[in-house]
Structure 1
Amino acid sequence: MAKLYHVPLSPFCRKVRLSLAEKKIECELIEERYWEENPDFHRRNPARKVPVLRIDGKTLPESTAICEYLEEKYPEPPLMPRGADGRYEVRRMVAWFDDKFHHEVTSKLLYERVNKKITGAGFPDSGNVKSGAKAIKYHLDYMAFLLEQRRWLAGDVMTLADFAAAAHLSALDYISDVDWNRSDVVKDWYAKIKSRPAFRSILADQVSGFPPPRHYSNLDF
């Protein structure tokens, strides 16, 4: 069985978990306190980051590289289009969420409110929190713009782009930082992806000291 070294609220780990689950690849989840001095983990990934996937006798770090490996090795069901144009758009959207959204929103809200406490890195920076709360509105509006033209974020079928976005938003939803009333089309998109069987383990996550809101696991939110 595959093993995934992860942190429950990491959006990068969640993206890999969603890909594994969608492709029905059985995987043991091993929670890794990557911020602690663990020589075994550092050997698995000298970058000292999660996720790290152990599969097919290989040790694979870096979430997007992992997801593309899974796509090539386990192509069904597909999470990438066949054509170059479609693949480009998926990669563009994955990069949008894992780079721009992460820098402007996730790191300002989730990391300040949760990660700092868990890792003992101090108290939340109120300036960062305010910045993240402002920036997420822009990103939700951009998602609404895309979804008014497409069925899914990168086109007419669900792809890794949707999992990347849902990974970040689900982690933020765990701490009630997503205003789902801002856009009906974004809320409808999240309701569709949240109801997939691949999402079940994520909705069951529990982080000590941070109970999720009641709507978090409710499919009819």
Structure 2
Amino acid sequence: MLELYQFELSHYSEKVRLILDYKGLDYRKIEVTPGMGQLELFQKSGQRQVPVLKDGDTYIPDSTEIALYLERKYPDKPIIPTTPKKKGFCLALEEWADESMGTKGRKALIGALNKNQAFRTSFLPPDVPDIVKTMVGAMPGNVLDVLGAGVGMGGDAMKSAEASLKQDLEALCLMLSDSPYLLGDLPTLADFAVAGLSVILKYPEGNYLDIPAQLKGNGIPGLADNPAYEPFFAWRDRLYADFRQPLSGSGADFATDTPHSINID
């Protein structure tokens, strides 16, 4: 069985999970605990970031490389068009999604966590003591902003990312206005990249991710709850309903052995 070394909240991991589910491939999720130390996965794959797919003795890092590998090795239910123009658009949109939903989405999420105390505490598991929730919620956003500025995650960078994402979401709504998928009548890698990476903007309501219940259906204020972008998120949720396997009854169960620990960059 395929094994996916992943982080449950990673939008790049979700991109891969969507593709695996669409292709109907059985896989086992192995949750990776962020941390330091000598790591078996790093030694075998040469990769610190998740996701990493293991197929037999082969380790494939990077969500794009995993997608291309799955298309070559498991060609049923193809996700890359064969005609040159559509293939070119598909690969370009996938790359764009990695940078837009991926990189800018992470910045916008951190910005929302800095500004919104309720949103910040919604990421905490329900069994966290109330005193811890209070402390996390009470942490001043300006302190987090100062800390983030040192690593390119300051307030200006986050505002710029959010503004850019608004334009991206508007563009996606227009692209989907007259077709069921981004490139026509069939889903492609572009659709799964955009849909999977968008979970960082708004988490799906269904039982697809092992996340706190209060996060389901919610996301970055100003993006997730903006009526202008509802057509996009409605499309995303339909794609999930059609192709994503829910946690219950899914073959993609977490591994029962001790999770590996790697650095999440």
**TM-score bracket, shorter-length normalisation:** 0.7 to 0.9
Q: Give distance in 2, aligned partners of 1:200 and 1:97.
A: 24
Structure 2 equivalent of residue 37 of structure 1: 37
With 166-175 and 134-143 compared, the bigger mean Cα shift is at: 166-175
Unpaired runs of 5+ residues, structure 1, are 205-221
- The equivalent of 1:179 in structure 2 is 225
User: Which structure is richer in relative contact order (CA contacts within 8 A, separation 6 or more)?
Assistant: 2
Is the CA contact 1:147–1:153 (under 8 Å) kept in the aligned structure 2? yes
Match of 2:17 in 1: 17
The 10-residue stretch of structure 1 (126-135 or 138-147) with the greater mean CA deviation from structure 2: 126-135
Matches within 5 A, 1:133-212: 133-174=162-203, 176-177=219-220, 178-179=224-225, 181-201=227-247
Quote the offset at 1:46 in angstroms: 2.4
1:197 deviates by 4.0
Which SS does the other structure have where 2:106 is aligned? helix
> 1:198, CA displacement in angstroms?
1.8
Could you list the runs of 5+ residues in structure 2 that have no partner in the other structure? 114-119, 125-142, 149-153, 204-217, 251-265
In structure 2, give the amino acid aligned to 1:185.
P
Alignment length, in residue pairs? 197
Structure 1 counterpart of 2:91: 91
SS in 2 for 1:200: coil
Q: Is the 8 A contact 2:41 2:47 kept in 1?
A: no
Query: CA 1:156 to 1:58, structure 2 compared with 1: closer, same or farther past 3 Å?
Result: same
- TM-score, structure 2 length as denominator? 0.66
Identify if the C-alpha distance between structure 1 residues 95 and 10 changes in structure 2 by more than 3 Å, giving closer, same or farther: same
Structure 2 partner of 1:109: 108
TM-superposition CA deviations, 1:108-149 (whole Å, max 9, x none): 1235648xx99xxx9354614433332221111110121124
- Percent identity, aligned pairs only, is 27
Query: Which residue in 1 is equivalent to 2:133?
Result: none
Could you tell me the TM-score, scaled by structure 1's length? Answer: 0.78
The CA deviation at 1:180 is 5.1
Higher alpha-carbon Rg: 2
2: CA distance, partners of 1:160 / 1:180: 26
Give the Cα–Cα distance (whole angstroms) in 2 for the partners of residues 85 and 107 of structure 1: 31
User: Which consecutive aligned stretches of 4+ in structure 1 deviate over 3 angstroms post-superposition?
Assistant: 110-114, 122-126
Q: How far 1:184 moved relative to its partner?
A: 4.5
Supply the RMSD in Å over aligned alpha carbons: 2.7
Q: Contact (CA 8 Å) 1:180, 1:186: kept in 2 or not?
A: no
Instruction: In structure 2, give the amino acid aligned to 1:108.
Output: K
Shift of 1:15: 0.9
Structure 1, residues 76-124: CA drift from partner, whole Å, max 9, x if none?
Answer: 1121112121111111110011023323x2121235648xx99xxx935
Alignment check: 8 A CA contact 1:53 1:60 kept: yes
CA distance in 2, matches of 1:5, 1:77: 23
Give, in whole Å, the separation in 2 of the partners of 1:176 and 1:184: 13
Distance 1:14 1:194 in 2: 11
What letter is aligned with 2:174?
Answer: F
Alignment match, 1:123? 144
Residues 86 and 155, structure 1, Cα contact 8 Å, conserved in 2: no
